[in-house]
Structure 1
Amino acid sequence: MDLKQIQYFIALFEDGSVTRAAKRLNIVQPALSMQISKLETELNSQLFERGPHGMTPTDAARQMYRLYLPIMRDIDHAREQLSRHDVIVTGRISLGMVASEAQSVLPESLALFNALYPHVEVSVADGFSAQLIDAVEAGRLDAAIINRPRGRLSLDTSPLVVEEMVLVTSAEHGPALPDTMTASALTELELVLPTRRNGLRGVLDAALLNADIVIKPQFEIDLLTTIVQFVEQSSIATIMPRVVVQRKVDDGLLRATPISAPRIVRHIVCVSHPKRPIGPATTELIDIIADQIRRVTTGIEIADPDPANGNQA
């Protein structure tokens, strides 16, 4: 396995199409296919399911993507730093984040960023999406990572990640569930959810409303860490973005069950003021955070699957 093969694999994983990935890499399609086949032979594992609608990654591919993406980023960063070793980047970044992302991936993201930009000061505030939008508009924040708002904004908006929301139960105390839950079956469960002030609740309610499904939680709590702890210790279930609970799922403390009919996702975007463009260091920190989200929630789509949606929730 060499760096070129890993680069080809990552491009194909993210683009889901040999045609698009080859165009992105500026190579011919047979060359890409040959390198992926060699990689599969070397690993003795199939990485993609070939189908009429593109290349679908297998579980082995998802694991490989999670492991190798940060390594490739580190290599790219090292090359960049070596090419501009005489330049010291300084300054201050003021970033806002919705709490679900800040609690999940911020520590690792800041550690990676600090290794690259040790002379840049970083201030991070968390809050609800509406609060963070106001702070960006007022100039108190350079940018904010938020749930995609339902209406159009005067701010510049860039899509970052599309995250799956899953049904979460305690591995020890939770009810027995099928491998996949239909959204209509959620009405039969005792649930704890964020309040309606929280953007996560808005995403959930909007998706269920479109399917003519109404759920009434037994508990409403805005502290996500409290919700997760409550679920872990009880038979109560919740619905959360996978990034919030994946580590406890990996540790065997929680179960995360996919939801279908409809599948529920939330769109994470970055907002900034059009008259105050963000600098390269801020862009780098946002990219690192988005990569960390993708790393935790391997296999989730990376871009908005329907760009025509614009800023609509």
Structure 2
Amino acid sequence: MLDSRQLHYFLAICEQGSLAGASDHLRIASSALSHHVTQLEQHIGTPLFRRKPRGMEPTAAGLRLQEHARGIMRAIAAAETDLRDSAGKVSGPVSVGMSFSAVKAIGVPFITRVTQTYPDVQLALTESLSGTQLPHLLAADVDMALVYNPPGNLGIETLPVLEERMVCVGHRDLIGTSDAPITFDELLELPQILLRQGVSARAILDDTTLLKRIESRARLQMNSIQAIAGAIEAGLGCIIGTRLFMHDQLERGQVRARPIVSPELSRRLYLCRMANRPPTYASEALAQELLTQVRMAVTEGRWEAQLLFDG
């Protein structure tokens, strides 16, 4: 049976990259750590580290165990917090993942409300491009995440939050100065800038047929917000995105946005949590606060979208 103490030591070695580093970090003798690693490897039946002259590197099995161990240790910590808070006190660590657009719309109001209303909660906020929040959730790096178009077969609990209409955003020399809609076929004649293929690409739309047609015309693929914005302003291509994503550039008039028709394109945002990780008082409270902030952003016009949840 796996021992939580051994997993704790195992993760420390992975993070520090050596027995000596983990020994200093944990204040435990290197020989004791080595003994625990050997026991763990014997129990599992395969090496977990490659021993090198200046450190230790996880094997493929070690990397798999690292992913599981993170989830196990987070679950143990959540259980301890939940039991201590059985009277309903909202406290403890909660990690939340948001896309760049979500942070622009609700990031500061959400953080402000959490710090003012739940002073005993230790909030960790992870920002990334739209589609890359899902791997953070699956790896137990975040407790919940706002994810666009998540797949439905990964043991994830999903709550539809909002739906956004997609637009074509590009330099006016490339897409013109008109606000008139552009058809999907016309859009394909323009050089496309895409998020890299895979999970990130699903954040654009989950219609795989249309997505493949877009990918076939892509001039550039990147997962850098600054690079995408810079390339658009330089007239190197256009993106299928939302007004919120390029809000600052649109306000300055550097780029234009045109609705897409025939067909219209849209994407859905979901609040996602892993079904096998029980919520705590703190995570439940922050999930409700997220929904409150989304509702306020939409009703106040800061987020151009249609709400999909009640309450």
Shorter-chain TM-score range: 0.5 to 0.7
- 2:137, 2:144 within 8 Å by CA — same for their partners in 1? yes
CA distance in 1, matches of 2:204, 2:131: 17
- 1:129, 1:147 within 8 Å by CA — same for their partners in 2? yes
Q: 2:295 aligns with which of 269, 291, 294?
A: 291
- 1:232, 1:253 within 8 Å by CA — same for their partners in 2? yes
1:20-169 matched pairs, under 5 angstroms: 89-102=90-103, 105-127=106-128, 132-137=133-138, 139-169=140-170
- 1:142, 1:278 within 8 Å by CA — same for their partners in 2? no
Number of equivalent positions = 215
- 2:105, 2:303 within 8 Å by CA — same for their partners in 1? no
CA distance in 2, matches of 1:286, 1:202: 22
With structure 2 as the length reference, what TM-score do the two structures score?
A: 0.58
**What residue number does 2:307 align with?**
302
Cα drift, residue 100 of structure 1: 4.1
Letter aligned with residue 278 of structure 2:
R
- 1:207, 1:264 within 8 Å by CA — same for their partners in 2? no
**Displacement over 6 Å in runs of 4+:** none
Letter aligned with residue 261 of structure 2:
S
CA distance in 2, matches of 1:205, 1:139: 25
CA distance in 1, matches of 2:233, 2:265: 22
Residue 267 to residue 226, structure 1, CA distance change in 2 (3 Å): same
CA distance in 2, matches of 1:128, 1:93: 20
1:163-312 matched pairs, under 5 angstroms: 163-171=164-172, 173-176=173-176, 178=178, 179-199=180-200, 201-204=201-204, 206-207=206-207, 209-210=209-210, 213-214=213-214, 215-234=216-235, 236-274=237-275, 275-279=277-281, 280-291=284-295, 294=298, 295-298=301-304, 300-303=305-308
Larger Rg: 2
- 2:131, 2:203 within 8 Å by CA — same for their partners in 1? no
- 1:165, 1:259 within 8 Å by CA — same for their partners in 2? yes
1:134-160 C-alpha deviation (Å, 9 max, x unpaired): 544554422111112233332211111
- 1:191, 1:217 within 8 Å by CA — same for their partners in 2? yes
CA distance in 2, matches of 1:212, 1:137: 25
- 2:243, 2:250 within 8 Å by CA — same for their partners in 1? no
Residue 212 to residue 146, structure 1, CA distance change in 2 (3 Å): closer
Cα drift, residue 212 of structure 1: 8.8
List gaps (5 residues or longer) in structure 1.
Answer: 1-86, 305-313
CA distance in 2, matches of 1:237, 1:203: 16
SS at match of 2:289: helix
How much identity, in percent, do the aligned residues show?
A: 19
Q: Indicate the RMSD between aligned Cα atoms, in angstroms.
A: 3.1
Letter aligned with residue 152 of structure 2:
G
Residue 278 to residue 156, structure 1, CA distance change in 2 (3 Å): farther
- 1:94, 1:123 within 8 Å by CA — same for their partners in 2? yes
1:274-301 C-alpha deviation (Å, 9 max, x unpaired): 3412534212332245236524233x22
Letter aligned with residue 297 of structure 1:
W
Cα drift, residue 109 of structure 1: 2.9
Residue 140 to residue 205, structure 1, CA distance change in 2 (3 Å): closer
Letter aligned with residue 148 of structure 1:
N
- 2:97, 2:145 within 8 Å by CA — same for their partners in 1? yes
Cα drift, residue 248 of structure 1: 2.9
CA distance in 2, matches of 1:281, 1:185: 46
Segment of structure 1 superposing worse, 182-191 or 281-290: 281-290
